[in-house]
Structure 1
Amino acid sequence: MLKELHVRMKDIPKQDRPRERLINKGASHLSDQELLAIVIGSGTREESVHDLAIRLYQHFDGIELLREATLEELVQLKGIGEVKAVSILAAIELGNRMGRFKKTDRYVIRCPEDGANYVMEDMRLLKQEHFICLFLDTKNQVIHQQTIFIGSLNASISHPREIFREAIKRSCASIVCLHNHPSGVRLYS
């Protein structure tokens, strides 16, 4: 009688494991089965997580039918308990929501007053100085607002590094920087 040989994840060189490949190369470099293996998390005593992911993928003839799987259908597969089934369904739902996500109409900054009006209601009653940046796309639409620094009653110190880090992360085309004067005194230099 021949015994099947199952490759365990710890027997695979570290750089070839799905998690490490995702970290080093990005999620787009992984197969559907490898992504499933990451979502599932672990295999069983008899089957590695990679083999379990392949079997799950084949059972549903790929991701299209897996997308429609129910909790009951998933737990019927050997090695997929309720916890793993819930993780799979949560990942599928998250993917579905991302696919349906539509950007809403965004506020457009055409002049300095537009920027002030965008934040005025939120900033007018603050008791400390806040340094806020609006990050804009190529159409001058606000794509993100972030408080970069909260200061004292009459001072707010910020570093360009903090502003540009967020600007690069958001791939913005323009930045509008604003701050309030809770003391009511405006100093000009």
Structure 2
Amino acid sequence: MTRFRAVVAPLLALVAALASAGTASSAATNVRVSTQPASVATSIGQKFAVRVTVTNKGSAPTRGLIAHLNVLSLDGSVYVDPEDWSSNRTRYLDPIAAGDFRTLAWKLQAVNSGSIGVYIAVLPRSGEPRLPVTGPTVHVAIARRQTLNSGGILPLVLGIPALLAALGVALRIGLRRQSG
């Protein structure tokens, strides 16, 4: 009987460990990720928000999930550093009951002009080699901001010629008075 317990006890512990690991890893496959809005039109320097809803489609609570914000250039012409866009890109989710959901919001700031894609990936915290569940990509169209006063140069560009013209007129008037 003692030998039976010595064999069965570790087996039960192994089964329990595998079952709990299975709950965490399969949780990522039982979720649906949706995003709002579908697209954003903004300009450089402006702030905008992306809302994400993570829904548990399974029959058991989800545990050990991470939601991660990703930002990338859709046209390849712009280098995108995601940390510049949002300072808090990774969220560790509390358990989500079966059939329930969590809504998360990310605040972003448009750093580069161009066509940018924003999406959220949900994956298990265990690091298991599973595909992440992603929501639809939010297309962000960012217009360039045209400025006439780039770097404070406008006053110099307009002021120096105006000053030279005024100086020339003053000299001409002064010379006429002396000769006349």
- Structure with the greater relative contact order (CA < 8 A, sep ≥ 6): 1 or 2? 2
More helix by share: 1
Q: Could you tell me the TM-score, scaled by structure 1's length?
A: 0.23
Higher share of residues assigned strand? 2
